[in-house]
């Protein structure tokens, strides 16, 4: 199986495609990689170099892949960080082209807009994601901040923008996720729900809703959302079942989060632990909600 992955790329560290590519390959998938930006490192380090790739340049790379492959064998499309608003239209065209040739392919949109109470993408990117991509997504993976931003309202009495939301606010999360499904998203997987020493992921699809939880670690992890989306796509293609894929993806993230936390946080301790990501015996806790 091949996955077209359209998101950021860095030279040092594991965010965007630099996290997704090794993870998807470890799960047995070929990766057709398209970088929306090329940076030296994650901007959270305080300084970085590189550039945003213009939307038409991204589009030409995608067109080249399509011309070479005819999109045959492309089982999935994954999009993440977009450096420019116009890139959303290029992603949309790619998804449509793949679906014509491979109608059973899945499109996972990680709507990278912001976190920790702030938007960190360029002007217009969030709006372009909402307009061009949500309705095409078979799977949408917002964090709590992005979920609130996409529905345009607070979800709980707590400080939702800062991610301060208790597990008993799940009904408001499900309501917002349901709204995104009404806008065309097939399934919504909400990440980063913190409650004590646990961190949960809420899954809502046509068959119901689930909560998947794992241990929470204090250290900041660069690229955690990017890695999670890649693991989710990889396992969904292998298993064919979304809740089971989320369980495997969350279990994999717990492995990487523990190793990264033990190393002091920051850049994901990915390469040294790639072998563990395909360990089917690792499971996270899941329950219907």
Q: Whole-model pTM above 0.75?
A: yes
Expressed as residue numbers, the domain containing 151 is 2-288
Query: Digits of tens for pLDDT over the chain (289 positions)?
Result: 999 999 999 999 999 999 999 999 999 999 999 999 999 999 989 899 999 999 999 999 999 999 999 999 999 999 999 999 999 999 999 999 999 999 999 999 999 999 988 899 999 999 999 999 999 999 999 999 999 999 998 775 444 444 445 556 889 999 999 999 999 999 999 999 988 888 999 999 999 999 999 999 988 899 999 999 999 999 999 999 999 999 999 999 999 999 999 999 999 999 999 999 887 667 788 999 9
Contact 259, 273 (CB under 8 A): yes
Identify any residues that bridge with 250 across adjacent strands, giving them in sequence order.
none
The CATH number covering residue 277 comes to 3.40.1190.20
How many domains is the chain built from?
A: 1
Q: Mind listing the pLDDT tens digit for each residue in 208-222? A: 999 999 999 988 899
């Amino acid at each position: 199986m091949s996955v077209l992955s359209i998101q950021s790329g860095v030279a040092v560290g594991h965010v965007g495609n630099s996290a997704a590519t090794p993870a998807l390959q470890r799960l047995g998938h070929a990766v057709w990689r398209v970088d929306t930006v090329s940076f030296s490192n994650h901007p959270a380090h305080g300084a970085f170099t590189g550039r945003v790739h213009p939307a038409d340049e991204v589009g030409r790379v995608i067109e080249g892949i399509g011309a070479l492959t005819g999109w045959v064998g492309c089982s999935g499309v994954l999009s993440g960080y977009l450096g420019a608003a116009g890139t959303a239209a290029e992603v949309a065209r790619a998804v449509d082209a793949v679906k014509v040739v491979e109608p059973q392919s899945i499109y996972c949109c990680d709507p990278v807009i912001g976190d920790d109470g702030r938007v960190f993408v360029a002007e217009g990117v969030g709006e372009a994601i909402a307009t061009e991509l949500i309705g095409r997504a078979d799977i949408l993976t917002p964090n709590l901040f992005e979920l609130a931003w996409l529905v345009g309202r607070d979800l709980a009495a707590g400080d939702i923008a800062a991610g301060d939301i208790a597990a008993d606010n799940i009904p408001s999360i499900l309501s917002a996720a349901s709204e995104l499904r009404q806008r065309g998203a097939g399934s919504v997987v909400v990440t980063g729900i913190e409650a004590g020493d646990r961190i949960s992921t809420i899954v809502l699809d046509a068959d119901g809703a689930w909560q998947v939880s794992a241990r929470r670690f204090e250290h900041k992890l660069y690229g955690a959302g990017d890695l999670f989306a890649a693991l989710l796509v990889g396992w969904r293609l292998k298993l064919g079942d979304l809740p089971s894929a989320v369980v495997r993806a969350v279990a994999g993230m717990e492995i990487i989060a523990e190793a990264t936390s033990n190393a002091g946080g920051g850049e994901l301790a990915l390469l040294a632990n790639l072998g563990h990501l395909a360990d089917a015996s690792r499971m996270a806790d899941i329950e219907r909600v």
